[in-house]
Every structure is written in C-alpha cells, then in structure tokens.
C-alpha cells in the first residue's frame, strides 16, 4: 500500500494540472519518505499486531480478559525496551 501511494504521488507531481497540486503532492511525498514517518508507521503496525489479540475475542470471561491485557502489556513493554 505504501509503495502504491508513493507511485501515485510521484505521478501527480509530474503530471499535476496546476502548481498547487505540484506543491502539495511534492510536500506529501517528502514527508512520506522521511525516516520519522516510516518509523511511526512501523511502530503503529507492531502495536496494532499486538493489540489485535484483544480485539479478536469478543466474549471472554474476566479472568481470560485480564490475562490477555497482562500479556499485551508485557509485549508492549518488550517493544519499548527493544
């Protein structure tokens, strides 16, 4: 998805119909290729993968839910420490 978005933005920079489109898409392209943007996407992907366990199970008893929250906290702490 990221690669396709970059390709579309690059084509808009080259073939945009106005200077406004060239400037806006060029700015977006610069930001999306920055280290900070890619790093934040990576972190969001990792965190959402960890939290997904909590979202999958809709009907859990309270003990299993507390166990999953505890496990999720530990996984997030490991990600923070790494």
Residue 82: CB atoms within 10 A of its CB come to 6
Cα angle at 74 between 72 and 79, to 5 degrees? 95
Task: Give me the chain's average pLDDT, please.
Answer: 82
Q: What is the pTM of this model?
A: 0.61
Q: In this predicted model, what pLDDT tens digit does every residue of 6-48 receive, in sequence order?
A: 898 888 888 877 888 888 888 889 999 999 999 999 888 888 8
* Dist CA 82 CA 14 (whole Å): 41
């Amino acid at each position: 998805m990221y690669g396709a978005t970059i390709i579309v933005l690059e084509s808009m920079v080259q073939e945009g119909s106005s200077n406004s489109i060239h400037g806006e898409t060029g700015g977006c392209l610069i930001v999306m290729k920055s280290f900070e943007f890619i790093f934040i996407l990576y972190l969001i992907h990792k965190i959402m993968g960890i939290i997904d366990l909590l979202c999958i199970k809709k009907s859990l008893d309270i003990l299993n839910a507390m166990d999953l929250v505890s496990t999720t906290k530990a996984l997030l702490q490991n990600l923070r420490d790494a």
